[in-house]
């Protein structure tokens, strides 16, 4: 009997090659899309799950307030909170704190600039279960001037030698003994660390206990006792802040709030000052998860719709089989086996496509996905349920409904579509296109928002700008060497200017200073500001417009005690107009500075963020970055000349550079990746929906062949027949558009809330996708309708 069933399945597929291909391909593509997105979403939610006790590890995140208003949110907060929590709360088992320092390490004649280097306190490896390949977790960071390196870094400096006991020179001055080697952090870690230097080294270098609550820039993690409830513990912190720093905060009319961030939530929920790296976005992950569900939903609807519509044609087959002695149970088994086989084929094709496309999808999303889905036991269970569920959903109708009809009715042609069946299929078509229109509107919105941000005037000129990391290994002649280097660079014919600064556009200012106020203001009116230090060429170099006063000048004596404000800082300090700020003085960390100018606000960071109030200070040779604006016609030659000059003046410092426009646009990289993924899978959703519409319109044209022939005999034209058949689908699309528009508006308005400068959701965003869907749908429907309408009526009227 099974052989007979298989023969029937093969004959059915052979007679309906196009229909079967459409059905299986649509379902397979839907499953493939869902699996790819699920891999990505699973990866996003897997961050830091590899850590033992990850449910007890929390980062202490700091919010600072000025006069009751939130001013800064720190991932790397105050220096003293870690040791104080450990000392005053028995709930804290261990703590560790880290602070980043860009360094140049050298070993013999091998030297590299290590940006992912941190000073870490001794219990780092007790808080984080990162495996030490060499060394003991309680000892490697205990003493001053010790360093622990990653596997990759150990290989880079020492090759196949044992690095333990060897010394790395930091910035050409201090030797650090290698006491341990740790396993490279996995891709799904929120941390990015290559070097850990002992925190005790800072105590020696700075001769400071480093316990201040007003000194920010320190990442603090705590491991809570297993019996401690994190929310209950966090609720104790406001009173603790008041007890430890209440009087000082009241004096400056300031405030502090500490929050405990579960380590497993940091990647998706954290975008604060001092993060290890650019994190993901929980909202975007949820959106993509919804897209995955919608695509699979569209594919299932498409599959079920086509299967049930096609099964009507098989009513006569059922009648014949029953006349020949077939039992209903045998018919049920045959239809279900057929559905199981077709679903299994779709699943196999989907898995093959996922294996093939995962590397490209990983590159597009910027994540190392590594077939994470296939490593989950639950995935294979779901695959089995997918096949079984698909077989039931698509096979139930022919198996139980058709097999119940009496042969005499079917063979006499009294069997026909029921109203319930027609309404069901129409409802499915509407649901498909609601999902499709919502996805296209989303894609269009994401594209327009990213274009809006990239096309906006930044207030600074970042074109044809090369940025070089300033040297770390310096001596007392650094300022003189910088001037020599600058003079050499600007003499090249292709170079139009050079400047030095602590930050460049596209980077979050790392210097945030509190306690800044006008001399005429009280202490409790002081606020926090972002600080950038640059030389006298910076504003001209970057085309920063001056709203009032002047910019810095190398010819003015004591220019180091002059400052510029941006317009936001001018307003924050209480000046009504930029001109009012000129020649006023501000108090800055025990010193006074004269305001000599106000520059217009410019976008230091992406347009996702509002303008920050900034105080701009003068330096003759500030460390951080050297910016060179040059004609990029012959980039290789220019870079070679710049590097030669660099090596002569700053030996022992690697020549590290980037182009500023590329660097600035990296801020939008996550949104661009999101837009690409959203767009590709929206297109797949439309493709799947149109496959279904293609198959459904084909069946409709076949079922209405005789009707079309009669209408042609009575004088109907081809356009009128096309209109007749198409109007049903236009009505369905109209219903889908009416429902999808408010749904899409709500979804995309929620997404846009993350942007300080965002587009308006005007009617065009909804009208264009709707017209595109209508055009595609009508084209799909017209293919079969035109073919049926052009058939000779004599043939149509003989059709059964």
Read off the DSSP letter of residue 625. E
Is the model more confident about 30 or about 320?
30
Q: How does pLDDT run across 161-181, given as a tens digit for each residue?
A: 999 999 999 988 899 999 999
Q: What is the pLDDT of residue 448?
A: 87
Is the model more confident about 595 or about 378?
595
Q: How does pLDDT run across 665-707, given as a tens digit for each residue?
A: 888 887 888 888 878 887 887 787 777 677 667 666 666 667 7
Q: What is the pLDDT of residue 714?
A: 76
Q: Give the C-alpha separation, 79 to 95, whole Å.
A: 12
Q: How does pLDDT run across 723-766, given as a tens digit for each residue?
A: 777 777 788 888 989 999 999 899 888 888 888 888 888 888 88
Residues paired with residue 148 on neighbouring β-strands, in sequence order:
180, 196
Q: How does pLDDT run across 369-411, given as a tens digit for each residue?
A: 877 777 777 777 877 777 777 667 666 666 666 655 566 555 5
Q: Give the C-alpha separation, 655 to 642, whole Å.
A: 9
Task: Spell out a b/e string for 745-764, using b for 16 or more CB atoms within 10 Å of the CB, else e.
Answer: bebbeebeeebeebbebeee
Q: Give the C-alpha separation, 761 to 743, whole Å.
A: 13
Nearest to 502 by CA among 342, 361, 627: 627
Q: What is the pLDDT of residue 340?
A: 79
Q: How does pLDDT run across 495-515, given as a tens digit for each residue?
A: 999 999 999 999 989 888 888
Q: What is the pLDDT of residue 491?
A: 95
pTM of the model as a whole: 0.84
Backbone angles phi, psi at 743, to 5 degrees: -65, -45
Is the model more confident about 319 or about 496?
496
Is the pLDDT at 542 greater than 70? The verdict is yes
Mean pLDDT of the chain: 86
Binning the chain into helix, strand and coil, the percentages to the nearest 5 are: 55, 20, 30
Confidence grade of residue 419 (pLDDT, cut at 50, 70, 90)? low
Q: What is the pLDDT of residue 504?
A: 96
Q: Measuring CA to CA, how many Å separate 787 from each of 535, 708, 720?
A: 74, 11, 14
Strands 117-120 and 195-198: parallel
Backbone angles phi, psi at 683, to 5 degrees: -65, -40
């Amino acid at each position: 009997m099974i052989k007979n069933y298989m023969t029937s399945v093969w004959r059915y597929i052979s007679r309906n090659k196009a229909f079967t291909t459409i059905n299986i391909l649509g379902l397979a593509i839907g499953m493939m899309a869902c699996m790819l997105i699920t891999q990505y979403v699973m990866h996003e939610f897997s961050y830091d799950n590899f850590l033992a006790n990850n449910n007890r590890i929390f980062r202490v995140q700091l919010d600072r307030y000025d006069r009751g208003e939130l001013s800064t949110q720190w991932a790397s907060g105050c220096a003293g909170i870690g040791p104080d929590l450990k000392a005053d709360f028995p709930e804290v088992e261990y703590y560790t704190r880290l602070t980043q320092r860009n360094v140049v390490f050298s070993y013999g004649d091998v030297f590299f600039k290590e940006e992912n280097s941190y000073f870490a306190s001794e219990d780092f490896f007790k808080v984080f279960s990162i495996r030490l390949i060499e060394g003991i977790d309680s000892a490697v960071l205990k003493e001053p001037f010790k360093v622990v390196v990653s596997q990759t870094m150990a290989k880079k400096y020492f090759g196949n030698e044992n690095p333990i006991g060897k010394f790395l020179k930091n910035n050409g001055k201090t030797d650090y003994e290698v006491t341990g080697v740790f396993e490279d952090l996995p891709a799904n870690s929120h941390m990015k660390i290559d070097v850990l230097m002992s925190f005790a080294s800072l105590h020696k270098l700075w001769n400071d206990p480093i316990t201040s609550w007003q000194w920010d820039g320190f990442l603090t993690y705590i491991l809570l006792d297993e019996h401690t409830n994190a929310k209950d513990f966090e609720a104790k912190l406001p009173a603790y802040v008041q007890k430890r720093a209440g009087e000082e905060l009241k004096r400056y009319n300031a405030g502090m709030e500490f929050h405990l961030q579960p380590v497993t939530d940091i990647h998706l929920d954290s975008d604060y000052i001092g993060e290890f790296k650019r994190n993901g976005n929980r909202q975007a992950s949820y959106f993509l998860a919804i897209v995955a569900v919608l695509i699979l939903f569209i594919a299932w609807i498409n599959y079920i719709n086509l299967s049930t519509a096609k099964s009507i044609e098989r009513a006569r087959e059922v009648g014949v089989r029953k006349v020949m002695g077939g039992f209903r149970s045998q018919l049920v088994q045959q239809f279900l086996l057929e559905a199981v086989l077709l679903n299994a084929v779709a699943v196999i094709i989907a898995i093959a496509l996922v294996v093939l496309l995962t590397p490209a999808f990983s590159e597009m999303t910027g994540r190392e996905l590594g077939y994470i889905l296939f490593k989950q036991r639950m995935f294979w269970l779901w695959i089995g349920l997918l096949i079984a569920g698909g077989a039931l959903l698509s096979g139930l109708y022919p198996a139980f409904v058709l097999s119940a009809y009496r042969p005499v009715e079917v063979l006499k042609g009294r069997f026909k579509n029921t109203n319930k069946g027609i309404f069901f299929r129409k409802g499915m078509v509407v649901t498909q296109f609601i999902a499709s229109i919502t996805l296209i509107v989303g894609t269009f919105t994401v594209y327009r928002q990213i274009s809006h941000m990239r096309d906006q005037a930044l207030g600074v000129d970042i074109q044809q700008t090369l940025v070089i990391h300033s040297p770390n290994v310096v001596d007392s002649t650094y300022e003189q060497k910088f001037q020599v280097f600058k003079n050499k660079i600007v003499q090249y014919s292709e170079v139009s200017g050079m400047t030095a600064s602590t930050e460049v556009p596209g980077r979050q200012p790392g210097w945030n200073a509190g306690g800044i106020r006008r001399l005429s203001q009280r202490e409790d009116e002081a606020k926090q500001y972002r600080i950038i230090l640059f030389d006298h060429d910076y504003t001209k170099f970057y085309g920063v417009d001056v709203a009032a006063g002047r910019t810095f000048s190398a010819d003015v004596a004591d220019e180091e005690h002059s400052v510029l404000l941006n317009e936001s800082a001018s307003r924050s300090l209480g000046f009504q107009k930029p001109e009012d700020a000129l020649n006023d003085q501000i108090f800055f960390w025990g010193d006074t500075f004269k305001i000599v100018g106000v520059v217009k606000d410019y976008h230091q960071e992406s347009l996702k963020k509002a303008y920050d109030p900034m105080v701009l200070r003068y330096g003759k040779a500030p460390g951080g970055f050297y910016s060179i604006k040059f004609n990029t016609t012959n980039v290789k030659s220019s870079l070679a000349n710049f590097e030669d000059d660099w090596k002569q003046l700053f030996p022992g410092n690697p020549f590290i550079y980037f182009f500023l426009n590329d660097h600035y646009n990296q801020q939008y990289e996550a949104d661009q990746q999101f837009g690409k993924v959203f767009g590709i899978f929206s297109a797949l959703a439309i493709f799947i929906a149109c496959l279904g519409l293609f198959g459904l319109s084909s069946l409709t044209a076949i079922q209405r062949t005789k009707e079309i022939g009669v209408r042609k005999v009575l004088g109907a034209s081809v356009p009128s027949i096309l209109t007749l058949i198409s109007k049903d689908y236009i009505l369905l699309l109209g219903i889908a558009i009416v429902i999808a528009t408010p749904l899409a508006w709500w979804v995309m308005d929620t997404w846009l809330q993350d942007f300080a400068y965002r587009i308006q959701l005007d009617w065009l965003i909804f009208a264009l996708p709707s017209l595109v869907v209508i055009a595609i749908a009508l084209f799909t429907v017209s293919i079969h309708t035109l073919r049926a309408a052009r058939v000779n009526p004599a043939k149509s009227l003989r059709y059964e």
